[in-house]
Chains A and B, each alone.
Chain A
Amino acid sequence: MPETALPKSWNKESKPHKFCPGCGQALALKILGQAIDELDIQKKMIYATDIGCSLLSWSMFNVDTIQTHHGRTLPLSVGFKKAKPEAIVVSFTGDGGGYAIGAQHLLNTAMRNDPITVILINNANYAMTGGQLAPTTLLNQKTTTAPKGRELAQGKPFKGPEMLAQITSEDAHIARGISTNYQQLLEMYKKAISNQIEGRGFSFVEVIAMCPVNWHTDAQQSLDFAEIEMAKIYPIGELKCPQK
Chain B
Amino acid sequence: MPTKIILAGEGGQGVQTVAKIIAVTAQRSGKNSSYLPAFGVEQRGGVSLAYLQISSKPITYPRFAKADMVVAFCDRAIPAIKDFLSKDTLFIYDNSVIKNKSLEKIKNLINNYLAMPALALAKEKLSSKVANVVLLGGIIAHLKEIDYQEFEKTLLEEFADKIIKKPEIKDLNLGALKAGIEIAEKFNKEETPFSGIEATEIKTNFSKEKISWQRFPEYCKGCGLCIVRCPTKALQFSRDSGFLGNPMPIVTIEKCIGCGNCMQICPDGAIKVEKST
Contact = CB atoms under 8 A, between A and B. Distances in A.
Interface of B: 42-45, 204-205, 214, 216, 218-219, 221-225, 227-229, 243-244, 246, 263-272
B185 to A, nearest CB: 40
B225 A2 contact: no
B44 A15 contact: no
A4 B269 CA distance: 8
A204 B44 CA distance: 30
Interface in A211-225: 212-213, 218-220, 222-223
A56 B214 CA distance: 27
A4 B43 contact: no
**Could you tell me the dominant secondary structure of chain A's interface residues?**
loop
Interface in A1-42: 2-7, 10, 15-27, 30
B269 A5 contact: yes
A5 B266 contact: yes
A167 interface: no
Given A219-B224, A219-B225, A4 B265 contact: no
Given A20-B221, A212-B223, 18 more contacts: A4-B219, A4-B269, A5-B214, A5-B216, A5-B270, A5-B272, A15-B268, A15-B269, A16-B219, A22-B221, A22-B223, A22-B224, A22-B267, A24-B267, A25-B267, A30-B266, A56-B43, A223-B229
A215 to B, nearest CB: 13
A229 B107 CA distance: 54
B273 to A, nearest CB: 8
A181 B268 CA distance: 16
A21 B204 CA distance: 20
A23 B238 CA distance: 21
Please name the 10 residue pairs, one residue from A and one from B, whose CB atoms are nearest each other, closest first.
Answer: A22-B223, A5-B272, A21-B221, A26-B267, A219-B224, A21-B223, A182-B264, A6-B269, A27-B267, A219-B228
